[in-house]
Structure 1
């Protein structure tokens, strides 16, 4: 285990925008850590709900308010307002498992040259209260593996050295995938490590930010493209090309499933009307089918 005599301070930065209803669980998960030397910085990104009241109800939480600027800006503010040697970014609707700090500190203090260490995480689905664990075994060529896909996925499963942010920050122009951009920039220049021990829970609910597959796809490809000019050898170019294929397949499949679900639900909800239209006015029924097909080709052409 780590040398607790060191008593290294870990800063847990929690950006929050109108997620006050989830914030207490995130804070409580930090307070329950088996490693005791931490600070909690909640960055309120212009919330209109009870975020301020929830954060300030905990005496050990540092509350920082800013006008709404987005997730990347809120995390950058948290960096500026924190003082720990190590940093963790915990979204307000997620939570840490009780040994999260201890586990990642053990890895990073045994390997102080690492810019960050990341681990596994657990999906928790609000709808059916089910869970699924996500672990990826990546022991070498971390930058190459990141070119191919974001195997880290959950930001709360990562512990950063503070010195990383002396030269690299979150890109405030990105609305999604800002963590993927950061991982690539850091792994391009510094050694990192990844393990399979579970660190955090990723809460899946109706108001998750990580929706909008078309934007996610275009942004992931945009981020990947920024790495192209710096590729150093055939191996990196291979993984880069693999990434181009992976992101297209991944998000196009998601978009297909989303649209197929909407189409199915629309047809099911209007089944009685469609049957009646076909029975009582076949001409209008055919016109509707033709209109649907023409809409498809118009979308395809544009």
Structure 2
């Protein structure tokens, strides 16, 4: 069986590592290596990792997720690679499922699947499964249907051609999907591969920052757009992302899950001023 390298970047999430590592060992897929890249943690990441058998530990000064994943790639040996965040976990049969699909079509650069969103504070789990059978680049221009990078299994040669962009502090996975799908065939399936834990320390909780970086990543594709369908998808993607993140920000402000900050107000004013007006009116009334 081809070797699968599972790279776990970790920054101060040492307490979650045993669960993440156990989800890999319990796969039942025998040809697996696990590499934890400690991105300058000041918690117990080193001690926890060294207590886990069969896990390689690599330390680097804090440089961010992209750099940590690139470091993991350099120290890995697998024909296929998976990137699992320390606070997430793989679902049973995940590795075997994606390996089989890659083996069936040697032209594929990566294969991705569905996942569960686990809302830690609320104690609920929601299934996130989006069927995409074709035109993957067009779909990615209009949104990140993958949603969670642990559902993706890459071929090693992808990273001989490109790498995670270290200038991006977020959305680096979306940027990579777009660059790969622009040039190579990829596959998406509806089998669930991983569980995505949502809690207060997720970077995705910074909605203004997420929207700004997402649009920046999408704008990078402007020079690659060639056909009328791609132009339409690109324009549609801008509107979809603005609508999605502004609606989320508005709901969070109403439910007091996000502070009524200047950054939040500026984001709504720039992209969805009607929502800012509605929030102000509701705040006055209440």
- TM-score with structure 2 length normalisation? 0.89
Q: Call closer, same or farther: CA 1:144–1:254 in 2, change over 3 Å.
A: same
Structure 1: which 5+ runs fail to align?
1-6, 267-292, 297-302
Structure 2: which 5+ runs fail to align?
261-276, 281-286
Name which of 29, 38, 41 aligns with 1:35.
29
Name which of 253, 256, 266 aligns with 1:259.
253
Please give the alpha-carbon distance, in whole angstroms, between the structure 2 residues aligned to 1:76 and 1:199. Answer: 22
2:202 is the counterpart of 1:205: no
Name which of 89, 110, 122 aligns with 1:128.
122
Partner of 1:243: 237
Name which of 8, 18, 29 aligns with 2:12.
18
Q: Call closer, same or farther: CA 1:114–1:259 in 2, change over 3 Å.
A: same
- Distance apart, 1:53 and its partner CA: 0.8
Structure with greater proportional helix content: 1
Please give the alpha-carbon distance, in whole angstroms, between the structure 2 residues aligned to 1:100 and 1:255. Answer: 33
Partner of 2:73: 79
Partner of 2:270: none
Contact 2:13 2:43 in 1 (8 A): yes
Partner of 1:285: none
- 1:1-302 to 2 correspondences below 5 Å: 7-262=1-256
- Distance apart, 1:140 and its partner CA: 0.5
Contact 2:252 2:258 in 1 (8 A): no
Q: Call closer, same or farther: CA 1:19–1:229 in 2, change over 3 Å.
A: same
Partner of 1:4: none
Please give the alpha-carbon distance, in whole angstroms, between the structure 2 residues aligned to 1:261 and 1:136. Answer: 28
Please give the alpha-carbon distance, in whole angstroms, between the structure 1 residues aligned to 2:95 and 2:29. Answer: 6
Q: Call closer, same or farther: CA 1:10–1:264 in 2, change over 3 Å.
A: closer
Give the match's secondary structure for 1:63: strand
Give the match's secondary structure for 2:256: helix
RMSD over equivalenced CA pairs, Å: 1.8
- Distance apart, 1:262 and its partner CA: 2.8
- TM-score with structure 1 length normalisation? 0.84
- Specify the structure having the higher radius of gyration (Cα): 1
Please give the alpha-carbon distance, in whole angstroms, between the structure 2 residues aligned to 1:41 and 1:176. Answer: 21
Please give the alpha-carbon distance, in whole angstroms, between the structure 1 residues aligned to 2:51 and 2:123. Answer: 28
